């Protein structure tokens, strides 16, 4: 092929690649239609202030959804992220409240998350216990630990810690920048590293992966630890944004939001397939839906029905559309 | 602003129960918390009458709430003063677990049980069994047909106090004009009562203020997200009133993130519960200006003293725990509440 041929065929290739992406990620179309509908009906959905609000809200979900998606792709899952988020926020907030520097506070939170993730990882990857049972148990146990350690609400963490949730970096809220970095890291990890390919291989067939020389314990163990760290980071960010955290209620139900975003984003619960682009779309789908329904003044119970129906429809589309395309 | 230091308020309804915050709503919703509308209270003297109580069982199902830890701490200390120990259950906001734990206590013959029923109808049979076994049964946050006494709360009153204070502020500071958003709860009876009291009082006293939104929110995360969305449509929003302090605190943060100064003279945020972060914000003179608060000391006192009064054979031993509005001028009351919260 000559250089001229290459230039002539590139747009076609790009168009074809775009179509393929649309076929693989039908949620792009759904999201586009939803955004257009919300904008037309409210007139304020695409206002910069509103978009900033959606992005900031969605950031913590994205930070946890990315490593959670990697875990699901590798055939595991982590249901303890809601409680880990609370523990991370409490440890970070408490350290900040004790006068520690924000860096120490955040590192303390991350250490707490890593510890939870390591326990999950050891029990699931090295002892072979069911990830569903282990992380469900940890969801309760970590919540109990958090309430025992911090029975009363914490607040007033100081201006240094507030930076984590309130600072602007190049015009973007700090949590959004962190989420963007996590998304980019997740995508690069999956696409460009051998370990990323191992994640898929383990998820498709653990035994075959083992026979191929892949360490089927170390990679998922690392993902459990990273998921714990990410949940704790999200907790620290939430504590910073709200300048308060309550052990009993912080992050309650968050694990379901994460799992929903991951599954709506097209990651197979059975493992072996999924993408970070899909996770991003799942996170944005949830964020835009909740925000749009609020802007439309939809009554509470109708909002719940609409959210539930949209989630089922989105998940069905993510599941069936790629098959139809084949 | 109308401020009253924990004065006793008249009874509003029998379907009342204790202050709450955060994400408890889902669990409560599933359980359908409320006393049956027609529940006629028939108190009965217990076989324990006249006896000295050595054990008091506190069955408070919402263990995830900060208030739970505070109440256990204060009630344990209160019981100890009288030579009694406090037993607790771990219901995990689950009505089935609560029923199982209460049945166990009745079988173990715990002499006095103070129970906050998640489903009043479902608890009736257990309360009857407790009375039949000669135990003392005190219903917390409502009334049952079979009980020795009850501990009541006036939640509509809390909403009314907050709505009234906000309307008065709107008249004085905004000339009776402006925009308000309510963060409400329609999922449980307590939430509905607080919501109704708040909205009815405000809209009646400040008819010139536009109600631009009524959104379900009881926790800070949801309060933040909902208020952010409301602000996108109504950037000139003046007031946010919350059914809980937790939700209102989320609104408070959303307004600040939208660029509102902490002490903006044309902004009012208020909530209900008397939770610590909100009380601190009020004390600091921010635009978080009011909270309808219950005093944990009063509740803990009732948890210990009502069953003791029943055991002592006192007539009409039930109590209603008072609620009061605290504002920026109530520094002593705020300090007192913060100290009680630990």
pLDDT in tens, A207-261: 999 999 999 999 999 999 999 999 999 999 999 999 999 888 899 889 999 999 9
Q: Are residues B222 and B132 in the same domain?
A: no
- Closest residue in A to B342 (Cα) is A152
CA distance A220 to A199: 8
Shared domain check, B267 and B165: yes
Residues B115 and B160 in one domain: no
- Give the mean pLDDT of chain A: 89
| Residue B85 resides in a domain | yes
Residue B9 lies in a domain: no
Residues B174 and B249 in one domain: yes
- The pLDDT of residue B5 is 35
Task: Please list, in sequence order, all residues whose beta carbon lies within 8 angstroms of the beta carbon of residue A122, skipping any fewer than 6 positions away.
Answer: A221
From start to end of B162-316, where are the E strands?
A: 178-184, 209-216, 239-242, 268-273, 288-294
Whichever domain contains B300, its CATH number is 3.40.50.2300
CA distance A137 to A132: 9
Inside any domain, residue B334? no
pLDDT of residue B18: 35
Residue B331 lies in a domain: no
- Greatest mean pLDDT among A152-161, B186-195, B275-284 lies in B275-284
Q: Does any domain span residue B82?
A: yes
Cα separation, A35 vs B312, in Å, equals 66
pLDDT for res A323 = 66
Question: How many domains are there within chain B?
Answer: 2
Phi and psi at residue B242, to the nearest 5°? -115, 145
Q: Give A16's pLDDT tier (boundaries 50, 70, 90).
A: low
Check B216 against A253: CB less than 8 A apart: no
Contact B22 A252 (CB under 8 A): yes
**Quick one: average pLDDT of B76-82?**
95
If asked whether residues B114 and B35 sit together in one domain, one would say yes
Tokens encoding A176: 């959004």
pLDDT at B35 over 60: no
Please report the domains of chain A, with CATH numbers, ordered by start residue: 48-325 (1.10.3470)
Question: Chain B contact for A86, CB < 8 A?
Answer: no
* Cross-chain Cβ contact B229/A53 below 8 Å: yes
State the pLDDT at residue B153.
87
Tell me how far CA of residue B296 lies from CA of A250, B66, B323, in angstroms.
Answer: 22, 11, 11
Count of CB atoms within 10 A of residue A316's CB? 12
* B162 and B178 fall within a common domain: yes
Mutation test of the interface with chain A: which of B233, B245, B252, choosing the one with the most A Cβ atoms within 10 A?
B233
Give dist(CA B91, CA B57) in Å, integer.
13
* Option in A152, A249, A250 nearest B276 (CB): A152
Find, among A210, A222, A20, A50, the residue nearest to A121 by Cα.
Answer: A222
State yes or no: pLDDT of B37 exceeds 80: no
Looking at the partner chain, which of B23, B184, B213 has a beta carbon nearest the beta carbon of A249?
A: B23
Question: What pLDDT is stored for residue A307 in this prediction?
Answer: 76
Residue A15 pLDDT: 54
Q: What share of chain B is helix, strand, coil (3-state, %, to 5)?
A: 45, 20, 35
Q: How far apart are CA A317 and CA B220, in angstroms?
A: 33
- Contact assignment for A156 to B215 by CB distance below 8 Å: no
The reply to whether B133 and B32 lie within a common domain is yes
Q: Which residues of B touch A50 (CB under 8 A)?
A: 228-229, 232
Contact state of B225 with A53 under an 8 Å Cβ cutoff: yes
| The predicted structure's pLDDT at residue B205 | 97
State the alpha helices, DSSP H only, in A243-275. 254-264
**Residues ≥6 apart with Cβ < 8 Å to A314:** A27, A30, A264, A282, A285
Q: What angle do CA A186, A189, A194 make, to 5 degrees?
A: 155
Question: Is it the case that residue B285 has pLDDT exceeding 90?
Answer: yes
Report the DSSP pairing between strands A168-169 and A172-173. antiparallel
- Two tokens, residue A277: 């682009």
Quick one: chain A helix, strand, coil %, rounded to 5?
A: 75, 0, 20
For residues B181 and B270, the answer to whether their CB atoms sit within 8 Å is no
Kindly give, in sequence order, each residue whose CB lies less than 8 Å from that of residue B82, ignoring residues fewer than 6 positions away. B53, B304, B308
Q: Does residue A53 sit at the B interface (CB-CB below 8 Å)?
A: yes
Same domain, B66 and B159: no
Average pLDDT over residues A72-90: 96
- Whether residue B145 is found in the same domain as residue B238: no
Highest-confidence range of A50-54, A115-119, B254-258, B309-313, by mean pLDDT? A115-119
Determine the Cα–Cα distance for residues A154 and A146; give it in Å rounded to an integer: 12
- pLDDT tens sequence across A136-157: 999 999 999 999 999 888 988 9
In the prediction, which pLDDT does B16 show? 35
- Alpha carbon of B48: minimum distance to chain A alpha carbons (Å): 34
Q: Are residues B142 and B163 in the same domain?
A: no
For the residues B128-153, what does the mean pLDDT come to?
A: 94
Mean pLDDT of B2-31: 35
Cβ-Cβ contacts under 8 Å for B76 (sequence gap 6 or more):
B85, B86
Name the band, by pLDDT with cuts 50, 70 and 90, for residue B297.
very high
Interface confidence (ipTM) of the complex: 0.75
Q: Is residue B13 part of a domain?
A: no
d(CA A258, CA A79): 9
Looking at residue B44, its pLDDT comes to 53
More confident residue, B284 or B64: B284
Q: Do B228 and A300 touch (CB under 8 A)?
A: no
By mean pLDDT, which of B1-10, B53-62, B128-137 is the weakest? B1-10
- Residue B30: pLDDT band (50, 70, 90) is very low
List CB contacts (< 8 A) between B250 and chain A.
Answer: 242
pLDDT for position A311? 73
Say what the pLDDT of residue A199 is. 95
Distance from CA of B161 to the nearest CA of A (A): 25
| Per-residue pLDDT band at B13 (split at 50, 70, 90) | very low
At B40 the pLDDT is 44
Collapsed DSSP state (helix, strand, coil) of residue A146:
helix
The confidence score (pLDDT) of residue B142 equals 85
Residue A100 scores a pLDDT above 60: yes
Domain that holds residue B181: 155-294
Average pLDDT, chain B: 85
- Dump pLDDT digits (tens) for A27-80: 888 899 999 999 999 888 999 888 988 998 899 999 999 999 999 999 999 999
State the pTM of this model: 0.80
- pLDDT of A87 reads 97
Residue A201 pLDDT > 90: yes
Please give the Cα distance from B98 to B25 (Å, whole number).
Answer: 17
In a domain, B139, yes or no: yes
More confident residue, A316 or A156: A156
Do B318 and B283 lie in one domain? The reply is: no
Is the per-residue pLDDT at B326 higher than 90? yes
Flag whether B57 is in a domain. Answer: yes
* Length of chain B as a residue count: 342
Which residue stretches of A123-253 are H helix?
Answer: 131-149, 158-166, 174-192, 194-204, 206-211, 218-242
Same domain assignment for residues B125 and B160:
no
Determine the 3-state secondary structure of A212 from DSSP.
coil
Measured distance CA(A182)–CA(A195) in Å, rounded = 16
Instruction: Name the closest residue on chain A to residue B220, using Cα atoms.
Output: A242
Q: Is the pLDDT of residue B164 over 70?
A: yes
């Amino acid at each position: 092929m000559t250089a001229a041929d290459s230039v002539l065929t590139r747009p076609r290739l790009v168009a074809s690649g775009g179509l393929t992406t649309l076929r693989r990620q039908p949620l792009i179309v759904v999201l586009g239609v939803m955004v257009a509908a919300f904008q037309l009906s409210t007139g304020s959905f695409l206002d910069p202030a509103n978009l900033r609000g959606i992005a900031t809200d969605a950031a913590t979900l994205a930070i946890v959804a990315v490593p959670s998606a990697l875990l699901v792709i590798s055939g595991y899952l982590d249901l303890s992220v809601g409680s880990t988020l609370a523990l991370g926020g409490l440890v970070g907030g408490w350290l900040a409240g004790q006068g520690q520097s924000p860096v120490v506070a955040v590192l303390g939170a991350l250490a707490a998350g890593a510890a939870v993730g390591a326990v999950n990882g050891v029990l699931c990857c090295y002892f072979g216990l069911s990830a569903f049972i282990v992380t469900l148990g940890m969801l309760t146990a970590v919540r109990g630990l958090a309430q025992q350690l911090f029975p009363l609400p914490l607040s007033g963490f100081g201006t240094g810690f507030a930076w984590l949730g309130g600072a602007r970096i190049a015009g973007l809220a700090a949590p959004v920048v962190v989420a963007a970095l996590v998304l980019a890291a997740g995508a690069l990890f999956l696409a460009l590293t051998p370990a990323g390919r191992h994640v898929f291989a383990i998820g498709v067939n653990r035994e075959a992966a083992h026979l191929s020389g892949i360490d089927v314990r170390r990679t998922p163990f690392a993902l459990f630890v990273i998921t714990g760290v990410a949940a704790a980071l999200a907790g620290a960010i939430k504590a910073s944004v709200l300048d308060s955290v309550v052990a009993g209620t912080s992050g309650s139900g968050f694990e379901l939001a994460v799992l929903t975003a991951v599954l709506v984003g097209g990651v197979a619960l059975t493992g072996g397939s999924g993408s970070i682009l899909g996770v991003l779309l799942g996170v944005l789908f949830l964020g835009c839906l909740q925000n749009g329904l609020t802007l439309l003044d939809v009554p509470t119970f109708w909002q719940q029905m609409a959210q539930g129906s949209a989630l089922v429809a989105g998940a069905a589309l993510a599941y069936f559309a790629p098959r139809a395309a084949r | 602003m109308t401020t009253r230091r924990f004065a006793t308020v008249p009874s509003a309804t029998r379907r009342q129960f204790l202050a709450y915050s955060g994400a408890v709503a889902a669990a409560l919703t599933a359980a359908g918390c409320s006393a049956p509308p027609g529940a006629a209270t028939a108190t009965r003297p217990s076989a324990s009458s006249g006896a000295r109580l050595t054990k008091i069982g506190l069955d408070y199902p919402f263990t995830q709430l900060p208030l739970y830890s505070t109440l256990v701490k204060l009630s344990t200390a209160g019981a100890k003063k009288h030579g009694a120990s406090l037993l607790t259950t771990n219901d995990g906001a689950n009505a089935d677990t609560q029923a199982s734990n209460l049945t166990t206590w009745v079988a173990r013959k715990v002499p006095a049980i103070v129970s906050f029923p998640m489903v009043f109808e479902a608890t009736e049979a257990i309360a009857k069994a407790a009375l039949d076994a000669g135990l003392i049964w005190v219903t917390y946050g409502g009334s049952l047909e079979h009980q020795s006494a009850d501990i009541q709360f006036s939640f509509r009153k809390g909403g009314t106090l907050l709505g009234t204070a906000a309307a008065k502020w709107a008249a004085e500071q905004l000339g009776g004009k402006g925009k308000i958003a309510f963060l409400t709860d329609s999922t449980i009876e307590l939430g509905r009562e607080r919501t109704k009291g708040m909205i009815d009082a405000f809209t009646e006293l400040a008819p010139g203020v536009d109600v631009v939104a009524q959104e379900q929110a009881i926790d800070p995360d949801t309060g933040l997200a909902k208020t952010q969305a409301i602000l996108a449509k109504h950037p000139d929003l003046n007031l946010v009133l919350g059914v809980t302090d937790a939700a209102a605190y989320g609104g408070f943060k959303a307004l600040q993130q939208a660029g509102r100064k902490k002490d903006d003279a044309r902004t009012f945020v208020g909530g209900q519960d008397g939770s610590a972060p909100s009380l601190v914000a009020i004390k600091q003179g921010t635009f978080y200006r009011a909270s309808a608060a219950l005093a944990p000391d009063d509740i803990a006192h009732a948890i210990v003293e009502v069953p003791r009064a029943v055991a002592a054979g006192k007539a009409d031993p039930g109590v209603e725990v008072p609620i009061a509005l605290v504002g920026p001028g109530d520094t002593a009351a705020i300090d007192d509440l913060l100290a009680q919260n630990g």
